[in-house]
Each structure stands twice: as structure tokens, then as C-alpha cells.
A and B are shown apart, each in its own frame.
Chain A
Amino acid sequence: MLSGPHGRDANLGVFGLTALIDVLRVFSHVEEIHHEFGPPPNAPLIRGAIAAVLRNPYAGSYHANILPMMEALNPLGVDLAKQLCNAMGVQPEAIQGYGKGAIIGASGELEHGALWHVPGGYAMRELLGWKGERAAYTAGQGAASTGQPGNALSIVPSTKKVGPPSAALDVPLTHINASYVRSHFDAIEVRVPGAPRSDEIIVILAMSTGARVHARVGGLAAQDISQWNGLR
């Protein structure tokens, strides 16, 4: 585990790269959905989310350069993605939908939540079989492809907000290989009782094993994905 016993009132200046990430609490939530008053699927839909409550090293004042924390979050992203698969009791190959989010305590700012986009998104995508070049994608140069170039091709949808302890965040879910797959548009409510305190930040990953339990509103179906560009 990545946490260490760092005092809350310690001066930011004394922290090195890894000490920027101070995990206070880990909260997992797994739902096994058998039906919603319609015909039950052969296997229940499993949806899950994992939330890590972190000390926010930038709480309380404006910091122009917050990028060191984005880099430092990478190992946590990988760790949480694996822990979530474990909690859901499935292999990464079984994951069909994903999302991410952040809730920032009141002494922080919305921008602190944006630090989770790259480490949260790419960590989960790589666990699920993404084969792309991270640097190229970060620069906006996704490679053109013929056939299916791996998995987790879609952008990971996200929400973020500044909120009080016990705030609920609706984390969006979309299909991992094509954002337009209509059956997999979903959301899971994530809420950690008592967190975030004002100097904390919660980073969240969410995954699901399939479509909404009684999906039947048409649109692009998962078996009709053909362009392998993350959209269709």
C-alpha cells in the first residue's frame, strides 16, 4: 500500500514525490444486479467502484504547479484498478464498461480533481488490455487502426466536484471499446460516508461487466463495433 504516516499539518515543502500521495482510506462498493423488475439475465450484472481518500497536498492555498501529483498518482491508479477487479471477483477480460471521478474537499479546488484524468484513466485502460502508446495519446495522436487493436479504446468518462463529507458523485460508465455503444451508457453513485474532509480528495474508478440490466433502447450494439477508434 502506498500510504505512509505523514502528519496532516506537515509543510508541503518537505514532501518528496511519493509522499505527495498519502492514502488515508480505501472504500470499495460492488453491486450484483439480478433484475430491475424485468427478465433476469443469465448472469447478474456486476458494477463496482473503488474510492481512495487522499490527503490533498494543495489544500488551503493556490499552487501554480500541481503536475507533480499527477505523475505521483500513477502507481495508485494501477493499484486501485487491480483492487477493484478483485473486489468485483472478475478477471480484467470480463470488464465491459468503465468510468472515473473525483470529489475534492472544501479547502481544495476543482482543478485538483483533474489530476486524476491521466493516472486514473490510463492505469485502468492498461489493466484492461489497452496496447496504445500513452505518450502519443496524451499528445492527441491516436494511431489509425485496422481491426481491433487491443481493448479499452474508449476515453474513460468522468465527473468531478468539490463537495462536503459524504457527498455523492454519479460516476458515468461507457463501453470500454466504443463510447457510442448505447446499452452501456450508465452511471454508478459513489459516496464515502465522512469523506472528503476539507483537506482531503477522493479519487474514484468504476467498472461494470455489461450493459444496463434491461437495456433495450437500440443504438450501436457492442457486437457491431467496427471502427475501433474508441467511438464506434
Chain B
Amino acid sequence: MKSQIRKIIVQVDEVLQEAGQAVNPPTRRALAMAVIANPYAGKFSDNLDILMDIGEELGGLLGERCVKALGIKPEEAQSYGKAAIVGEAGELEHAAAILHPKLGAPLRKAVSKGAALVPSAKKQGTLGTAIDVPLGHKDAAFVRSHFDAMEARVSDAPRANEIVVAVVVTDSGRPQARTGGLQVQEIVGQDGLR
């Protein structure tokens, strides 16, 4: 494995009531994060191939951890998102190298299908920096009930030469979604948008 992982963190956020209303079934969002060594920390490298390969490894590993934590079949996953926080000895482009070229394909395998773009966020940060991982429906980006975000944060990372990589998978939309727009039952699921 090319990823040098210091720790893996998995969180599940289950909402049973919101604003005094029962949420039935409860909404559930799973967040999996890996704290990894940044192989390019402290130096400039034109070539970021190692990070692209790390992205490929982590897309599958973190996606599978989320699905497992939710206790669902891959096809029961509904929305997803990804993000990275680069420690101060790295550069923003390192997050891009992890997230964009290769992470998506194994993540889509973990959640089955995934016609839609995986929404993403990236930033540089320090220990305890929080990033809001954007979420969208995995097969149709326009589904309004599934636009959401989940906060990702590791209290002791990223250290200067580390990167925090986060993947979120849900089995639901927002707890009390009622702002209209494209509905789940109207998804065609071909173009990733509708």
C-alpha cells in the first residue's frame, strides 16, 4: 500500500428527531477519514503520481468503511462527498492530486453506481481544522433533498507533513427535507445530473 496511514476515524451521525418531529426512518451519515503522511511535504514536485495512487487506495478503503459503518448494502447508499485537509508543509494541489484523478472510481464501486460527480472540498489547515464535506445524491446531482454537508475534523491532525482525507456516504437525505426540486423517485440516473 502506498498510503502511510497513521489513523483511521469513522463517525456515524444518526438523526432520530429534528425540530420536534420524528425522523422515520432516521437519517444516517457516515464519515471515514484517514490521516496519512504527505510524501511531498516540504518540497516542490512537478509530479504528484504517488498522491494520485494514494487517492485510488483511499477511495475504496474509506468508501467501504462508510458503507460498513452504516450496515447497508452498497446499492442502499444515497449520497456522497469527499474532502482533504493538507498540513502546512504541503500545498493545496496535493489535495487535488488525491481527490480528483483516481479516488472516484473505487468509491463508486463501494457505493455501487454513482453516476453523479462526487462533490468535494479542500483546504490547508492544522491540527483540529474542520472541513465541511459537501454531499450530493450519488446518481443525480440535482436531487435537492440530498444537498448537505458533514463536518470532518481530527483533533490531532493534520500535522505539518500530513494530509487528512475524508469520504462521506449516507443512506438518506436531510432529516426534514421539504424545499422541493427533483425528487429521488424522479431520478433517471444516466447523465449524473437528473
Closest to B31 in A: A29
Bound complex: CA A3 to CA B153 (Å): 28
Q: Is A16 an interface residue (CB 8 A)?
A: no
Q: Which of B79-133 contact A (CB under 8 A)?
A: none
Cβ of A25 within 8 Å of any chain B Cβ, yes or no, is yes
Q: Are A31 and B15 in contact (CB under 8 A)?
A: no
Q: How far is the CB of A159 from chain B (nearest CB, A)?
A: 15
- Residue B160 is within 8 A (CB to CB) of chain A in the complex: no
B34-48 residues with Cβ-Cβ distance < 8 A to A are none
Q: A27-B14, A87-B69 are in contact. Are A32 and B9 (CB under 8 A)?
A: yes
Q: Is B11 an interface residue (CB 8 A)?
A: yes
Within B1-47, which residues are at the interface with A (CB < 8 Å)?
A: 5-22
Contact in complex: B16, A36 (CB < 8 Å): no
Closest residue on chain B to residue A191 by CB atoms? B153
Check: A134 CB closer than 8 A to any chain B CB: no
Q: How long is the Cα–Cα vector from A13 to B22 in the complex, in angstroms?
A: 21
Interface size class of A (residues with CB under 8 A): 20 to 34
Enumerate chain A residues within 8 angstroms of B13, measured Cβ to Cβ.
25, 27, 192-193
Kindly identify, within residues 1 to 35 of chain A, every residue whose CB is under 8 Å from any CB belonging to chain B.
Answer: 1, 3-9, 22-35
Per the bound structure, the CA–CA distance linking A28 and B5 in Å amounts to: 21
C-alpha gap A26/B26 in the complex (Å): 10
Determine if A189 is an interface residue (Cβ-Cβ < 8 Å): yes
B21 to chain A, nearest CB (A): 7
User: A231 in the interface, Cβ–Cβ < 8 Å?
Assistant: no
A118: CB under 8 A from chain B? Answer: no
Q: Which residues of A contact B8 (CB under 8 A)?
A: 31-32, 34
Tell me whether A25 and B16 are in contact in the complex, defined as CB-CB below 8 angstroms, given that A189-B155, A193-B151 are known contacts. yes
- Please state if B9 and A36 are interface contacts (CB–CB under 8 Å): no
- CB contacts (< 8 Å) of A8 on chain B: these are 19-20
Q: Is A155 an interface residue (CB 8 A)?
A: no
CB–CB B15/A24 < 8 A: yes
CB-contacts of A57-72 with B (<8 A): none
The distance in angstroms between the C-alpha atoms of A44 and B21, with both chains bound, is 40
Residues of chain A with a CB closer than 8 A to B15's CB: 24-25
Q: B21: which of A5, A25, A168, A189 is its contact (CB, 8 Å)?
A: A5
Partner of A23, one of B7, B16, B151, B153: B16
> Could you tell me if B7 and A33 are in contact, using CB atoms closer than 8 angstroms?
yes
A25-B20 contact given A30-B9, A31-B9, A34-B6, CB 8 Å threshold: no
Which of B11, B14, B18, B19 is A29 in contact with, Cβ under 8 Å? B11
List chain A residues, Cβ under 8 A from B7.
31-34, 44
Pick the contact of B11: A28, A168, A189 (CB < 8 A). A28
CB distance from A192 to the nearest CB of B (A): 8
Instruction: Please name the residue on chain B nearest to A187 by beta carbon.
Output: B155
Q: Could you list which residues of chain A lie within 8 angstroms of chain B, going by C-beta atoms?
A: 1, 3-9, 22-37, 44, 87, 166, 168, 189, 191-193
21 CB-based A-B contacts, threshold 8 Å:
A1-B16, A3-B16, A4-B22, A5-B20, A5-B21, A6-B20, A9-B20, A24-B16, A24-B18, A25-B13, A25-B16, A25-B17, A26-B16, A27-B14, A29-B9, A31-B7, A33-B6, A37-B6, A44-B7, A87-B69, A193-B150
Measured CB to CB, the residues of B under 8 A from A are: 5-22, 69, 150-151, 153, 155
12 extra interchain contacts, Cβ-Cβ under 8 A, other than A5-B17, A24-B17, A26-B16?
Answer: A8-B20, A24-B15, A24-B16, A24-B18, A26-B12, A29-B9, A34-B5, A34-B6, A34-B8, A35-B6, A87-B69, A193-B13
